[in-house]
Structure 1
Amino acid sequence: MPKAAESLADTPVCLELSKVLADSYNLYLKTHGYHWNVRGPQFNSLHNMFMTQYTEMWTALDEIAERIRALGELAPMSGSAFGNLSSIKEGDATKSATDMVKELVKGHKTLIETLKNAIKVADDASDDPTVDLLTVRLGSHEKHLWMLSATLED
């Protein structure tokens, strides 16, 4: 029988996957919100880039949660659970386009660190399917980070 979400600390791989899910969900929400609220001369390009990124992240959320379930745990699903697990802060719609990009860069860097830690824990547990899933996610977030960072260059 699956354990309650509060018991995830008993299973290190699922705890790390839950942190990845929470950071991913918060970064998804921030990216989607910035897609709605970006303005200025770069509106069209940023609006489209944010949509590409949040769409990719949305699909990944399901894959991460399903991996937690495959390991016999319940996936966190509430705002409070995500808030307790995530290292990524909420977005601010009043920010300028440049500051939105900077916030997303910071969010991807944070999630990349969360992913690297989760990969280590999964690797130490010889959980190859989780390592594979997280490695793909790492590559995606490194690409998103590169694209966002490139918009900040002169």
Structure 2
Amino acid sequence: MKTEIGIKQEHLAEVAHSLGKILADEFVLYTKTRKAHWCVTGPDFHSKHLFFEAQYQQLEEMVDEVAERIRTLGHFPPATLKEFLALTHLTEQTREKNDAAGFIKELLSDHQSILIHLRENIDGYAKAFHDAGTSDYITGLMEQHEKMAWMLRAHLE
């Protein structure tokens, strides 16, 4: 059944595709954060283990919300690791050392990369695709990443 919400079908498809890329980024970042939770070592293990757990739990909710936004627009989200890796602009971790500072720097870099991407596209949803709802949604998503990045950055100061 067609989604009739006042947005042209071709615009819904373009927004859904764009959100699919965001979903891929979110899922890759979620996976990397979960890895940090599982693999962190060092004298601050316990506190960082709990810190990364709180972050991946927040990202897990964000992943689900992005996928549901795509469904709200009448499309199906990418949902396989192969699709996520093809769509993401993030890279998988290549470091060998499992220290907290290394994980934090890499995760912070990914959050900042996602923030830049989101910020560059907020206006386009409203202006080019006439989808103020997704523009507003992306603004909220951006704010969550800003706070998560701040929390990571604070560990490095």
Which bin holds the TM-score, normalised by the shorter protein? 0.7 to 0.9
Deviation, 1:9, is 9.9
Compared with structure 1, are the counterparts of its residues 118 and 16 closer, same or farther at alpha carbon in structure 2 (3 Å cutoff)?
farther
Structure-1 residue corresponding to 2:152? 148
Question: Take 1:122 and 1:16, find their aligned partners in 2: how far apart are those partners?
Answer: 9
Structure 2, unmatched stretches of 5+, are 3-9
Q: Higher mean Cα deviation, 125-134 or 33-42?
A: 125-134
Using the size of structure 1 for normalisation, the TM-score is 0.87
Structure 1 residue ranges, 4+ long, deviating more than 6 angstroms after superposition = none
8 Å contact from structure 1 (residues 101, 148) kept in 2: yes
2:145 counterpart letter in structure 1: H
Deviation, 1:51, is 0.8
Structure 1, unmatched stretches of 5+, are 3-7
SS state at 1:76 partner? coil
Deviation, 1:92, is 4.6
Structure-1 residue corresponding to 2:58? 56
- Cα displacement string for residues 36-95 of structure 1 (whole angstroms, at most 9, x for unaligned residues): 000112212211111111101101111111111111211001111111110111235733
Number of aligned residues: 148
1:126 counterpart letter in structure 2: H
| Alignment counterpart, residue 124 of structure 2, candidates 121, 126, 146 | 121
8 Å contact from structure 1 (residues 16, 121) kept in 2: no
